[in-house]
Amino acid sequence: MDIEVLGSTNDQLSVIFRGAQPTFVNAIRRIIMAEIPIPAIEKVYVAENTSVLYDEILAHRLGMIPMRGGETLNPPDRCSCGGKGCSFCESVLTLEVEAKEDNEMVYSGRLKAEGSVFPAKNDIPIVKLNSGQKIALVAHARLGTGKEHAKWQPVSICVIKYEPVIFVQENCDLCGICVDRCPRKILEINENEKKLVVRSIWDCSLCKVCKEVCPKSAIKISYNDRTSRLTIETTGSKSNEELLVSAFDFLIKKCESLRNSIGGAVNG
Ligand SMILES: [Zn+2]
């Protein structure tokens, strides 16, 4: 298997896996979405809330704010408190704000971290307050995974695309109709070599417009499922690179535990 990192753009990371089973790449994708622990706000104790939002909606919004840190926290199911919540598995944040004027937006940056967990971004809107409206609350963040709740999912995008394959047959007469009609503009005619070439194959959306408009039926479209591109976009809790490495570590640990249990069963 050969791996090529296409690099990061707009908070996205694309990696090409060549010669990999689609199931393997999909395992990595599903681990990133569902198995990597990140912190999120789980409990909110509201002391005062005179905003237009109910306490429950406010708590829900706080829960959905991506959080960073919490590396030293115990996973709640493996904490000595038995998952009830203590200083080893929870990190406290507070929010205390009173609007001085109308239409004052409260952003995630106003959450004050008392422990190791803090908002990944400071410009996420929580609630708009009018003059004199107040919010005072204490929030407890803990580690969790995407399979428990979407708020612990560390990515907003995590998709696989097979490599598109565009095959141009000999009977192509370079009429150029496909070049004009391709919505992604990835085809061009190479005048020197007198042939139709594909500029950037990964931009192909497999729409098959080129195949349909070709008067000679000279274009064939398919895909190669042994070469896939994984694209991930973090919500900010961890970097894309950290997520990818954590996914590989998780898969290795799962395989080791499977090997040990099979070994135990065979030996036992
Ligand atoms: Zn605990």
Q: Where in the chain is the domain with CATH 3.30.1360.10?
A: 2-34+157-231
* Percentage of the chain lying above the pLDDT 90 cut: 90
| pTM listed for this prediction | 0.86
Give the Å distance between the CA of 83 and the centre of ligand 1.
6
Q: Where in the chain is the domain with CATH 2.170.120.12?
A: 38-152
* Percentage of the chain lying above the pLDDT 70 cut: 99
Token pair for 231: 């694209």
pLDDT tier at 8 (50, 70, 90 boundaries)? Answer: confident
Question: Are 197 and 187 contacting, i.e. CB atoms less than 8 angstroms apart?
Answer: yes
Using the predicted structure, report yes or no on whether residue 1 has a pLDDT greater than 90: no
DSSP one-letter string for 173-209: ----HHHHH-TT--EEEETTTTEEEES-GGG-----H
Adjacency order of strands within the sheet including 12-18:
2-9, 12-18, 219-234, 155-168
Give the Å distance between the CA of 75 and the centre of ligand 1.
8
| Average pLDDT score over residue span 200-228 | 94
Give the Å distance between the CA of 115 and the centre of ligand 1.
14
- Residue 90 makes CB contacts below 8 A (sequence gap 6+) with 42, 43, 73, 76, 115, 140, 141, 142
Give the Å distance between the CA of 86 and the centre of ligand 1.
4
For the 38-152 domain, the top CATH level (class) is mainly beta
- Residue 192 makes CB contacts below 8 A (sequence gap 6+) with none
Using the predicted structure, report yes or no on whether residue 134 has a pLDDT greater than 70: yes
Give the Å distance between the CA of 35 and the centre of ligand 1.
20
Question: Are 219 and 211 contacting, i.e. CB atoms less than 8 angstroms apart?
Answer: yes
Give the Å distance between the CA of 78 and the centre of ligand 1.
8
Give the Å distance between the CA of 218 and the centre of ligand 1.
65
pLDDT tier at 268 (50, 70, 90 boundaries)? Answer: low
Domain 2-34+157-231 homologous superfamily, CATH: RNA polymerase, RBP11-like subunit (3.30.1360.10)
pLDDT at 267: 67
